[in-house]
């Protein structure tokens, strides 16, 4: 189970897709997964959107502002086939509010908020357990191309980017999502 990293600015509600990466895997009869926002002072879950792409499967969920629990199952006995090579299957979308000072939060541009995927259990169509792993997600707080995090895109960002290129240095590993 995978969360796709996203970028959003202070006060934005961002959409984070919960996806199944089952390339070259077995058929899946059902699964459960939980997602946690690790820092409620910077972000919170405000809604879950049904974006399930699997026919004949139901995505049931319960949420608080910090955790969402999902159960994905079929009442008809169907199974989820392995993904084609370059695709992931969307199961649901979390709507997450990035909480800056105007929202009573502590997020600032240049921050990131980790999203923890845990409690992943999967079973085959016969009900036997499958090996399952997870890939945590991350919200980057800021504006794309705002390399100095001042909330504006201007010549200062270009100078910063050129300096990194000329010096053959990379931006901070935690902020490469902004460039």
Of 32, 4, 38, 17, nearest to 119 by C-alpha is 32
Tens-place pLDDT, residues 15-30: 999 999 988 789 999 9
Query: Where do we find the tokens 């919960």?
Result: 18
Q: What is the DSSP letter of 99?
A: -
pLDDT at 179: 52
Tens-place pLDDT, residues 74-89: 988 899 999 887 788 8
């Amino acid at each position: 189970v995978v969360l796709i990293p996203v970028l959003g600015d202070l006060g934005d509600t961002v959409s984070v897709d919960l996806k199944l990466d089952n390339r070259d895997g077995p058929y899946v009869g059902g699964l459960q997964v939980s997602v946690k926002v690790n820092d409620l002072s910077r972000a919170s879950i405000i809604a879950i959107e049904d974006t399930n792409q699997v026919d004949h499967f139901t995505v049931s969920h319960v949420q608080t502002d910090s955790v969402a629990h999902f159960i994905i199952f079929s009442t008809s006995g169907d199974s989820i086939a392995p993904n084609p090579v370059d695709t992931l299957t969307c199961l649901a979308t979390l709507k997450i509010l990035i909480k800056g000072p105007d929202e009573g939060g502590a997020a600032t541009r240049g921050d990131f908020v980790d999203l923890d995927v845990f409690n992943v259990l999967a079973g085959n169509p016969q009900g036997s357990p499958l090996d399952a792993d997870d890939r945590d997600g991350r919200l980057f707080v800021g504006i794309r191309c705002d390399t100095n995090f001042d909330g504006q895109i201007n010549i200062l960002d270009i100078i910063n980017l050129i300096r990194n290129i000329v010096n053959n240095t990379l931006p901070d590993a935690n902020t490469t999502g902004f460039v």
